[in-house]
Structure formats: C-alpha cells, structure tokens
A and B are shown apart, each in its own frame.
Chain A
C-alpha cells in the first residue's frame, strides 16, 4: 500500500513565477492536510481539505496561495508570484477520518521549494 506521495520533491522557481505542488493521499484516505516548515521551525498548518471541499484554510496566507482537492486526481497547493520568503519544505498529510476522531495523519516526503 503506497504511502502519501508528493511531487516534485524539489522545485526551484524565480521570484514572480508560480509553484504547483502535488499530493496524492494514501489509498482510502479522503482527508488531506498541507503544512509548511520553515528552517529551524516546526511544521505549521496551512489548509485542510476533503474531496472537492476546503474545510479549514485558516493557516494559509490570504494572498497568492490556494489549494484544491478535486474529485479526481491529486491535491494541489498553488503559490502564485513566489517570493524568497516562500522557500520552505511543504508537507502533505492524509488520514482516513478527521483529527476530531484522533485519526493518525500520515505524511508525504515533502516538496522543497527554493525561490531564487
């Protein structure tokens, strides 16, 4: 049973370009979470999605960032007009049910975004 898959593993963008990060959850998981880890920091929650719905985006910057989890295909985290401060590791996690049910979140290997 494949784990959470993320691609690309490494992404380099110049300031002003767009970054698209993809996440395929574990089989049977319909809950997806995106976290960001800045250097020397812990993981910070960005957004929580279920199929075709954004449940909580309170951790996501109001501008330039968006996320989706379509009926078919992977979840996408999109960053428009990237700036150097967006350089970080972005992790996706999935779970079968929700955090409320104390269900375990399983993480992907992350995408390391570098903005030049």
Chain B
C-alpha cells in the first residue's frame, strides 16, 4: 500500500532563513514526485517536481532533494519570505498511474 507521510504538521521560520519541509514515502511506481502549495480557500498550486534520474531539482528559491534509498524527499526554500506561508503537500502518482497520492501537508509560517 502506498503511503506519503509528512510528519511535521507545522513549521515556523523567520524571514530570510531556510525552510526545510520533509516527506517520506513507502514505494513509488513511477519515481516521480511533486510538491504543491496551498493557500486558504484556494486550490493547490504546483510548485516543483523531481524524477528519480535526478537527486536535486532547483527552481529559483525552491529546491527539492530526493534520496531514493531512504525513500525521502525534502523541499528547501531559501530565503523564506512571508508570502511563502501556506500549506505544502508532497505527492506522487499512485500505482495505477491514474491519480496523485498526497501527504497530509505541512503548514509553513514565515514571520517577518
């Protein structure tokens, strides 16, 4: 059974510092992972993805790291900004390749 775990429900960081959000998974058929960001009363917004041929993918202030042997990925945001305050979801395709499986999310609060 596939599971995606985000064990930290919340994270508080000061503006300008690094935010590190973690995600563990049990197994992945497609070796493709995504991060979504969600503001209150809005739908999730795609942020960044990574496939297993890489162990790192960078897009501006956002970097995702993948450790396949540990079945672990992390999202780094540096420098963190107050506008980054949101819920961050880790996701990966289900075994059938028909949908995404999401973690419960980590609420990031960036204070100025």
Residues of A at the B interface (CB closer than 8 Å) are 4, 6, 33, 35, 40-45, 48, 55-56, 58-59, 91, 93, 98-100, 102, 104-110, 112
Chain B residues near A112 (CB, 8 Å)? 41
State whether A99 touches B44 (Cβ < 8 A).
no
Chain A residues near B99 (CB, 8 Å)? 33, 35, 45, 48, 56, 59, 99
In the complex, which range does the number of interface residues on chain B fall in?
20 to 34
Per the bound structure, the CA–CA distance linking A56 and B49 in Å amounts to 24
State whether B49 touches A98 (Cβ < 8 A).
no
Write 10 A-B pairs (CB below 8 A) sorted by A numbering.
Answer: A41-B104, A42-B4, A42-B104, A43-B44, A43-B89, A45-B100, A98-B97, A99-B30, A102-B49, A104-B49
Chain B residues near A41 (CB, 8 Å)? 104
Given A43-B89, A45-B94, A104-B49, residue A99 in contact with residue B100 (CB < 8 A): yes
Per the bound structure, the CA–CA distance linking A108 and B46 in Å amounts to 12
Residue on A with the closest CB to B44? A107
Chain B residues near A40 (CB, 8 Å)? 104
State whether B96 touches A56 (Cβ < 8 A).
yes
Chain B residues near A44 (CB, 8 Å)? 102
Per the bound structure, the CA–CA distance linking A102 and B31 in Å amounts to 10
State whether A109 touches B97 (Cβ < 8 A).
no
Contact mask for chain B residues 1-27; partner A; CB cutoff 8 A; 1 contact, 0 none: 000100000000000000000000000
Contact mask for chain B residues 66-99; partner A; CB cutoff 8 A; 1 contact, 0 none: 0000000000000000000000010001101111
B42 contacts chain A at the CB level, 8 A cutoff? yes
